[in-house]
Amino acid sequence: MNHAMFPDPSSRRPNTLGALRFGVLGTLAIWWEEGCIEIAAAKHRTVLAILLANPNRTVNVGMLIDELWPGLAPSTARKTVQGYVWRLRRALGPFADRLVTTGSGYRMVLPADGTDVLEFERSVDTARVALHAGASERAVGELTRALDLWRGPAFDCVPRSPAIEAYAVRLDEAYVAAQESLIATRLSLGRPAEVVPDLVGLAAAHPHRESLHRHLMTALHRTGRRLDALDVFRRLRFRLAADYGLEPDRQTVELHQALLQDRVDVAGFPQR
């Protein structure tokens, strides 16, 4: 994922003094009122990342072993995992009791705002409800708040175990989907000029994602750049054919035809 698509991380800090907060939307981070807690060892970061990917749920020791040593685990794996957890507790200091031992494994106990992921998902859900209720301006605010939590690709600098890779891909997809929802909402509010710069970058980063290209075509058309909008379709069609031997889907083709005939409505759909 393109790092340039994310906000400047320098301003991202925990919003509640005295509380422990974990960040995974970017490099793995732990914040509290005294500053940041560093987890230097790669395998310690992997264990922490897996626990954070399963908030308030027990992670079986066997799963941790499989993730840390895919294929062939050492005979001392269980004892080694215990050592990693002990060191994580030491690093957490006064918050060590958040990392709980259960009968089958370990659980990270987190409040509703304990990770940036939980905050992100809550804001996206609130935006979805607002959109359903017709409160587009509120949805813009919630989506903007959600996206501002991101400092880079999910779990950046964490060794990619199978589970972490799958979870990171899901989170990165949720990030792009939230960006797309924000763009669509701004377009519906009549703000095409605001979204063109972001859409240009997103379309370049996701050259086969037709929905982003449709938004870009619509925004360009509505800012008086009809020829540029048509050129977006031309380049998308070439890329799909060259990479996959495919044509653009029906929605994209219909939008292209509407642009040719100058009959695109305010929401970016062909007029019937």
Instruction: Give me the tens of pLDDT residue by residue for the chain, a chain 272 residues long.
Output: 544 454 443 344 444 334 889 999 999 999 987 788 888 899 999 999 999 999 999 999 999 999 999 988 999 999 999 999 999 999 998 899 999 999 999 999 999 889 999 999 999 999 999 999 999 999 999 999 999 999 999 999 899 899 999 999 999 999 999 999 999 999 999 999 999 999 999 999 999 999 999 999 999 999 999 999 999 999 999 999 999 999 999 999 999 999 998 877 645 555 54
The 10 Å CB-count burial string (b at 16+, else e) for 148-161 is: ebbbbbbbbebeeb
Query: ∠ at Cα 40 (35, 45), nearest 5°?
Result: 95
Range of the domain at 227: 191-272
Bridge partners of 27, per DSSP, are: 156
Note whether 51 and 98 are same-domain residues: yes
Given strand 59-60, what is the order of strands in its sheet? 59-60, 105-108, 99-101
Bridge partners of 115, per DSSP, are: 22
Bridge partners of 247, per DSSP, are: none
Note whether 174 and 223 are same-domain residues: no
Query: pTM score, two decimals?
Result: 0.83
Note whether 21 and 117 are same-domain residues: yes
C-alpha span between 88 and 21 (Å, rounded): 15
C-alpha span between 192 and 213 (Å, rounded): 14
Q: How many folded domains does the chain comprise?
A: 2
Task: Out of 135, 155, 189, pick the residue that ends a domain.
Answer: 189
- pLDDT score at 15: 41
Note whether 204 and 154 are same-domain residues: no
Note whether 126 and 89 are same-domain residues: yes
Q: Give the E-state strand segments of 35-82 in sequence order.
A: 35-36, 59-60
